[in-house]
């Protein structure tokens, strides 16, 4: 009888495990501490799959059927972070919006891959300053240091694989997050080394320095929205454009052509020749367009670039956004009236930007509560500018922050309420004023634009 009961128990356990493993349903939920909105949205690429509201305990739950295993993004205004989901996963998150990425923890079926991915994301952020200091080293020593960092992470991944085996897709994603961050560190080495050492020419590199170029997969659809993969592609295309210019684009006096239009045209043609995967191709085209347009070239050059962009990527799914940016840039040229954007003062009263800048010289700058490092840096810089340029009024426009949190920050940091305003519609402000650079500022006088592409660090 005992043997029969034991066999029956083992059969039931095995049946349950098989059922859970074979289910196509995915459960995704969790708790948001200090929520900054009422909902959570799950995205696959640019498409929203589901949106759910937080309950009275700031918890949410989604149930998804028959999803394709891979990388997704969840959005809790104003922050995004990715999540790896596969059929049968039952994944819970917990995070505190005051420290969004740092506090994010996954638990449940699928936790191993996701906790590793967020750990690699945070490691990359922490390493950036340290890596930048390494660019002073000679190529061999630099590669040795970078490769040792990579080996530590790969060993950690293999330990996870030994304890709780990941699926092939999850393992490949985790490994790519290590590999492509390593490639990101190596790609700009000659430029940063030259800058660090004050050298006049680029350092000669060993023949195998860029050996990893042979491993690059330009058409991996699974990695399209993985940050290290996409960011590497941007660095790599810039590098290839520079090198191709250096070899074949010389002026009559043997100097390399260096204007922005010329360089970015190279990038457009490289994307056209190297990248066939539609989503990545469109995203990279978009990045080149934004990078170029935001550098504020002459109107004649911008028109030439847009014409060429349309010829090469006229069916780009971002084309409307790029055309809107182009139009917005034309509308905020010097001597034009500043757009009449609505913002709110600390009492809740509506104000217009043109009204705020009337009868005085104003510098508008922008900040967001979730970006604490940026907030602290810009407050310090604005304080310096106020003492150096007393003839200007420095007006802060807050973006992507809950109204209540913005008001509490005004009190906490004893900010001058007459100089601080809150924008409800981030998209409207970002598009109309072209706010993509975190240190962007707009200089205006008597409601008229003086310079809509100023920078609080480099323009004063």
pLDDT at 225 (0 to 100): 95
Q: Please report whether residue 8 resides in a domain.
A: no
d(CA 286, CA 244): 21
Judge if 228 and 315 occupy the same domain.
yes
Crossing angle of helices 227-248/278-293, nearest 10°? 60
pLDDT at 26 (0 to 100): 95
Q: Is 9 in a helix, a strand, or coil?
A: helix
Structural domain including 80 reads: 24-109
Q: Please report whether residue 322 resides in a domain.
A: yes
Of 303, 259, 309, the residue nearest 284 (C-alpha) = 309
Of 228, 366, 216, 241, the residue nearest 291 (C-alpha) = 241
Q: What pLDDT, in 10s, does the model give residues 23-58?
A: 679 999 999 999 988 999 999 998 999 999 999 999
Of 365, 380, 438, 456, the residue nearest 413 (C-alpha) = 380
Q: Please report whether residue 383 resides in a domain.
A: yes
Judge if 204 and 297 occupy the same domain.
no
The residue out of 215, 238, 262 marking a domain boundary is 215
Task: Residue 57: give its domain's CATH number.
Answer: 2.60.40.10
E strand intervals along 280-392: 342-344, 350-352, 361-367
Judge if 145 and 230 occupy the same domain.
no
Q: Is 310 in a helix, a strand, or coil?
A: helix
CB 110 within 8 A of CB 90: yes
| Per-residue pLDDT tens listing for the chain (460 residues) | 454 444 444 444 444 444 444 567 999 999 999 998 899 999 999 899 999 999 999 999 999 988 899 999 999 988 999 999 999 999 999 999 989 999 999 999 999 999 999 999 999 999 988 999 999 999 999 999 999 999 999 999 999 999 999 999 999 999 999 999 999 999 999 999 999 999 888 888 999 999 999 999 999 999 999 999 999 999 999 999 888 777 656 554 445 455 788 889 999 999 999 999 999 999 999 999 999 998 878 888 999 999 999 999 989 999 999 999 999 998 999 999 999 999 999 999 999 999 999 999 999 999 987 677 788 899 999 999 999 999 999 999 999 888 998 999 999 999 999 999 999 999 899 999 999 888 999 999 999 999 999 999 999 8
The owner of tokens 């590793």 is 116
pLDDT at 199 (0 to 100): 87
Q: Is 336 in a helix, a strand, or coil?
A: coil
Judge if 156 and 168 occupy the same domain.
yes
DSSP 8-state assignment for residue 27: E
Contacts of 148-157 with C-beta under 8 Å, sequence gap 24+, read 149/182, 150/178, 150/179, 150/182, 153/120, 153/123, 153/178, 154/178, 156/116, 157/116
d(CA 130, CA 128): 5
CB 394 within 8 A of CB 386: yes
CB 423 within 8 A of CB 343: yes
CB 227 within 8 A of CB 242: no
Judge if 145 and 104 occupy the same domain.
no
pLDDT at 248 (0 to 100): 58
Q: Please report whether residue 82 resides in a domain.
A: yes
Q: Please report whether residue 10 resides in a domain.
A: no
What would you measure as the largest C-alpha separation in the chain, in angstroms? 96
Q: Is the peptide bond before 78 cis (omega within 30 degrees of 0)?
A: yes
Of 369, 356, 355, 381, the residue nearest 410 (C-alpha) = 369
Judge if 310 and 347 occupy the same domain.
no
pLDDT at 18 (0 to 100): 41
The residue out of 55, 87, 109 marking a domain boundary is 109
Report the domain count for the chain: 4
d(CA 160, CA 432): 47
DSSP string, 442-456: EEEETTEEEEEEEET
d(CA 409, CA 372): 11
Number of C-beta neighbours around residue 36 at 10 A: 19
Q: Please report whether residue 336 resides in a domain.
A: no
Task: Residue 394: give its domain's CATH number.
Answer: 3.40.30.10
């Amino acid at each position: 009888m005992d043997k029969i009961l034991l066999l029956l128990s083992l059969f039931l356990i095995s049946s349950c495990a098989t059922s859970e493993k074979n289910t196509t349903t995915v459960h995704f939920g969790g708790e948001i501490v200090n929520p900054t909105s009422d909902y959570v949205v799950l995205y696959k690429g640019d498409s929203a799959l589901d949106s759910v509201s937080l309950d009275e305990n700031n918890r949410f739950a989604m149930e998804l059927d028959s999803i394709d295993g891979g990388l997704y993004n969840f959005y809790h205004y104003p922050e995004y972070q990715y999540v790896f989901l596969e059929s049968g996963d039952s994944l819970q998150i917990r995070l505190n919006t005051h420290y969004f990425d740092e506090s994010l923890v996954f638990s449940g079926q699928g936790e191993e891959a996701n906790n590793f991915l967020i750990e690699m994301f945070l490691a990359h952020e922490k390493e950036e300053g340290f890596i930048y200091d390494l660019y002073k080293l000679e190529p061999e020593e630099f590669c040795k240091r970078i490769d040792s960092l990579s080996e530590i992470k790969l060993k950690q991944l293999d330990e996870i694989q030994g304890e709780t085996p990941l699926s092939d897709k999850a393992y490949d994603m985790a490994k790519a997050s290590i590999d492509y961050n390593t490639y990101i560190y190596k790609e700009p080495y000659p430029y940063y080394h030259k800058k660090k050492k004050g050298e006049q020419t680029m350092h000669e590199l060993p023949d195998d320095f860029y050996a990893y170029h042979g491993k690059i997969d330009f058409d991996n659809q699974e990695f399209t929205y993985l940050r290290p993969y996409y960011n590497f592609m941007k660095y790599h295309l810039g590098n290839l454009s520079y090198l191709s210019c250096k070899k074949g684009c010389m002026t009559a006096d043997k100097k390399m052509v260096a204007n922005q239009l010329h360089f970015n045209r190279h990038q457009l043609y490289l994307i056209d020749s190297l990248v066939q995967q539609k989503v990545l191709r469109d995203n990279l085209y978009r990045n080149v367009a934004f990078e170029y347009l935001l550098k504020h070239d002459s109107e004649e050059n911008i028109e030439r670039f847009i014409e060429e962009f349309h010829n090469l990527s006229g069916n780009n799914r971002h084309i409307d956004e790029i055309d809107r940016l182009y139009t917005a840039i034309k509308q905020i040229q010097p001597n034009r009236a500043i757009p009449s954007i609505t913002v709110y003062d600390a009492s809740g009263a509506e104000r217009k930007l043109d009204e705020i800048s009337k009868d005085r010289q104003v510098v508008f700058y922008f900040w967001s509560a979730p970006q604490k490092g940026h907030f602290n840096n810009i407050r310090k810089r604005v304080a310096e500018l106020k003492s150096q340029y007393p003839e200007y009024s420095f007006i802060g426009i807050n973006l992507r922050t809950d109204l209540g949190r913005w008001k509490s920050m005004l009190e906490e940091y004893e900010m001058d309420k007459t100089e601080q305003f809150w924008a409800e519609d981030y998209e409207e402000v970002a598009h109309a004023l072209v706010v993509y650079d975190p240190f962007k500022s707009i200089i205006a006088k008597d409601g008229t634009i003086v310079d809509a592409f100023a920078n609080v660090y480099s323009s004063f």
